[in-house]
Structure 1
């Protein structure tokens, strides 16, 4: 326990020095508030060391880091119950998992045998979705009130009080609508990550509900509970506390991929074996999700977490969507403007119907992050970058001569403007570039003490 507390103290100190990251955008342009537009027009972004001239280009400024208090424990005393709204009962038929089931115990995946995708591309279907069935249609054109949102959440979260189950809360990340803490599970003595989302600050709450392949509505953030995979961060439970949704999940002590892209002096440091290793793990997760009709919609280095052993997992499912009907015979296209500007695909920005192909474009941009240290147009303001992505040919590497033809070919299969010509996750898993992928241990050299738990972990 003392060792865990010392580690938490180091993580808290590193968090206090972190730099701001671009926040995801959710909603159509016509629904953007003046404050949203002001953010997009004036947002300044910094990556890497503040002293590195490479990271301080046009329109970039260094923001003073938010200094937090000395290492402290956060405790809460009373669970405030949100009253049941009987008026809304007529709207909902609820199917939920048994809340008495203890999902807090961390599972230990067996990584000794590498996960191999079946040759026919068929992957086992996930079961027991956390769903909310409603007689009234919820879609991108329906405004969902806070009252409706809270009522729906009450039906799928555990009724237990998480403040009696976890202690020693230490903040390690902060986003526009959520904070992330490390805490210790009192029963098992293990560390967990707890994402605390302020539900009153969620943009367009109706977009956080998704119709699944059975015609029922699920809450996007619950996707981790229902889709189990060795390369997806495991969710242990969810709770409503005051006006916050708490999501308890697996803690990965290696931090986000973002922290491994460049050295403290701003130099890129990932070699092609390491890039292939990350891509292979992410593609396994995407192949699994896409086969179940789920798109992630926010693939970027911030959404990729690592353990100190070098295992790679996909996180941040707050913006995922279901895109397959009950018989898996027809794809349901989406049109919502969702994601983080620099990683968005052209079809998302232009608001043309899209499906799983958007994740492959974003993966390509993430590959460019690993090569160049940042995504294309990162020195541009978000709206300018979005216009360039929408109107111009696919972006190019800064120094393509430094990369192999195999890596360039892999990237070229991702960054295709026509979604119908873009590779699928299963296609890319067979690409020759991924034959260079190594064991997780090849990523351990990047995971020094300076990078552990640094950055916006688990935060959207």
Structure 2
């Protein structure tokens, strides 16, 4: 069932982790009661805080593939193509929902371009996992379906989706505003913490998979910052008690420069720590506009800790120190940017630290 909250009607799409909803009479996306939404959110937070350590990282994902009727495709009107690379199976388009006129992203995974059954499994796994994620720092998946030719996902539209890619990777401009950097990093950590809390490892965290949604003019005038939302769960893994609370990565996956060094070529047991490695690279890149792998003579496992802070611009340096102190109390800079992580890291007491 498609889910778009009340704020989505102004195209800000800032949904909460726990929601109550009612269905519109036209069969379109439901509208949320914001007061009840907040009450449920606070209630859930209280329950989470009272839980014991053994409840963390439990698998809460239903692993069944449940596509909607392919006729749902007719509920959306094509606007324009956003992404289409010849060798990629993925086609991304902007659409609008026929009844609500809300902008929605359509992601089509073309089966003819998938190399093998493993890739088809990853595509279906993306639908299974993403459809169950409900958090304001996760791009929401409204619905998905499968036809003979493609798997189609309809998801939340972010109005400045390519911000990090254009500013940092294309323009080579670091984020100089300390408060923005702190806010962006915290948003990413909140999303990652949520994923880990329900037993999901993203496995492909990178700047291209962190989308920005900016507030409308009125909220922006009040000083509200943009919100960062994580997307693309095509390589995600589900932690299992079968593997001691970790996940089995059958084949090495991820994006070069962001992949944790402990990931082997085949059959690697992985945990939340691989996402923390990738986050460290993202944070470094936001501060400097290049990956730590671009440093002269850099290689995995080499301690470059002293130089990491010193090479940053003053504003970004202060922000990085703040983040490392407040959000990653048990991590030193070199442990997330230059050392192999050998133990699981729990973010639960860090993303909520004052």
How high is the TM-score relative to the length of structure 1? 0.55
**Would the alpha carbon gap of residues 103 and 275 (structure 1) be closer, same or farther in structure 2, given more than 3 Å must change?**
farther
> In the alignment, which residue of structure 2 is the partner of 1:33?
none
> In the alignment, which residue of structure 1 is the partner of 2:232?
316
Contact 1:284-1:429 at 8 Å conserved across structures: yes
Name which of 106, 119, 134 aligns with 2:49.
119
Could you tell me how far apart the structure 1 residues matched to 2:82 and 2:293 are?
Answer: 28
Could you tell me how far apart the structure 2 residues matched to 1:209 and 1:366 are?
Answer: 28
> In the alignment, which residue of structure 2 is the partner of 1:105?
29
2:141 counterpart of 1:235:
yes
2:91 counterpart of 1:179:
yes
Could you tell me how far apart the structure 1 residues matched to 2:28 and 2:58 are?
Answer: 23
Could you tell me how far apart the structure 2 residues matched to 1:269 and 1:329 are?
Answer: 39
Supply the RMSD in Å over aligned alpha carbons.
3.8
Could you tell me how far apart the structure 1 residues matched to 2:247 and 2:149 are?
Answer: 32
- Extract unaligned runs of 5+ from structure 2: 1-25, 216-225
Contact 1:281-1:312 at 8 Å conserved across structures: yes
Choose between structure 1 and 2 for higher RCO, CA contacts under 8 A separated by at least 6 residues. 1
Secondary structure class of the residue paired with 1:347 = coil
Contact 2:272-2:345 at 8 Å conserved across structures: no
**Would the alpha carbon gap of residues 293 and 262 (structure 1) be closer, same or farther in structure 2, given more than 3 Å must change?**
closer
Name which of 67, 72, 75 aligns with 1:157.
67
Secondary structure class of the residue paired with 2:70 = coil
**Would the alpha carbon gap of residues 308 and 302 (structure 1) be closer, same or farther in structure 2, given more than 3 Å must change?**
same
**Would the alpha carbon gap of residues 430 and 350 (structure 1) be closer, same or farther in structure 2, given more than 3 Å must change?**
farther
Structure 1 segment 171-210 matched on structure 2, within 5 A: 171-175=81-85, 176-206=88-118, 209=121
> In the alignment, which residue of structure 2 is the partner of 1:49?
none
Could you tell me how far apart the structure 2 residues matched to 1:109 and 1:368 are?
Answer: 39
Deviation of the 1:249 alpha carbon: 0.6
Contact 1:346-1:389 at 8 Å conserved across structures: no
> In the alignment, which residue of structure 2 is the partner of 1:224?
130
Contact 1:225-1:234 at 8 Å conserved across structures: yes
Number of equivalent positions: 295
2:279 counterpart of 1:363:
yes
Could you tell me how far apart the structure 2 residues matched to 1:338 and 1:172 are?
Answer: 25
**Would the alpha carbon gap of residues 389 and 245 (structure 1) be closer, same or farther in structure 2, given more than 3 Å must change?**
farther
Deviations 1:37-58 (A, max 9, x none): xxxxxxxxxxxxxxxxxxxxxx
> In the alignment, which residue of structure 1 is the partner of 2:348?
426
Deviations 1:299-331 (A, max 9, x none): 1111111212112211101110112238x9643
Could you tell me how far apart the structure 2 residues matched to 1:201 and 1:275 are?
Answer: 38
How high is the TM-score relative to the length of structure 2? 0.69
Tell me whether 158-167 or 328-337 shows the greater mean CA deviation. 328-337
Task: Return the index of the structure with the highest Cα Rg.
Answer: 1
Secondary structure class of the residue paired with 2:348 = helix
Deviations 1:413-433 (A, max 9, x none): 5336342346432243156xx
Could you tell me how far apart the structure 1 residues matched to 2:272 and 2:349 are?
Answer: 13
Secondary structure class of the residue paired with 1:237 = strand
